Amino acid sequence: MKEDQKVVVFSAGNEEFGVPVLNVISIERAQRLNAIPQMPNYMLGVLTIREELVPIVDTGIILFNKSVNHTDKTKIIVVKTDTLSVGLLVDDAKEIIDIPQNQVKPLNVTYQLSSYITGVATLEGRLITLLDPHKLFYGLEGFERIEEHIHSHH
């Protein structure tokens, strides 16, 4: 029997998503970014968070091809991957919840096209799409350029 998953739930494009708490370093308020030229359209810029240079990506563009609207709820979820930390700009970071394994449904065909979606959980009438941040970033076109940029500044 697999364990419950602890996830940070965030909203983007009127839908709710979860990323594993184990991958999350921190949740920050959205702030002004230093834009970088010649980067993919989902890359908004970089922020220095806890003395680390963190690229900030627009979850709305990645998931729906539509930018996140900045409001006072907009947050940045800093997630670690094998090689660097990445900030996900989201409409709102809501809460941390435990998702019992028996609430996670296997993926139907539409979702299987997106390797970064690990499952869909139904919790008290909410539908939460679970994401694997590592696969999400590494599936992005041009992500290695971002990686190179960050590593060249260390």
- The range of the structural domain enclosing residue 93 comes to 5-152
User: CA 16, CA 52: separation in Å to the nearest integer?
Assistant: 28
The confidence score (pLDDT) of residue 123 equals 87
| Per-residue confidence (pLDDT) for residue 111, from 0 to 100 | 60
Over the chain (154 residues), the average pLDDT of each successive run of 10 is 85 95 96 87 93 95 92 96 93 95 79 80 91 93 92 80
CA triplet 154, 63, 150: central angle to 5 degrees? Answer: 5
Supply the pLDDT for residue 4. 85
Residues 6+ positions from 138 with CB-CB distance below 8 Å: 81
Number of domains in the chain: 1
pLDDT on residue 115:
85
CATH of the domain at 17: 2.40.50.180
Secondary structure letter of residue 42 according to DSSP: T
Q: Give the pLDDT confidence score for residue 114 in this predicted structure.
A: 80
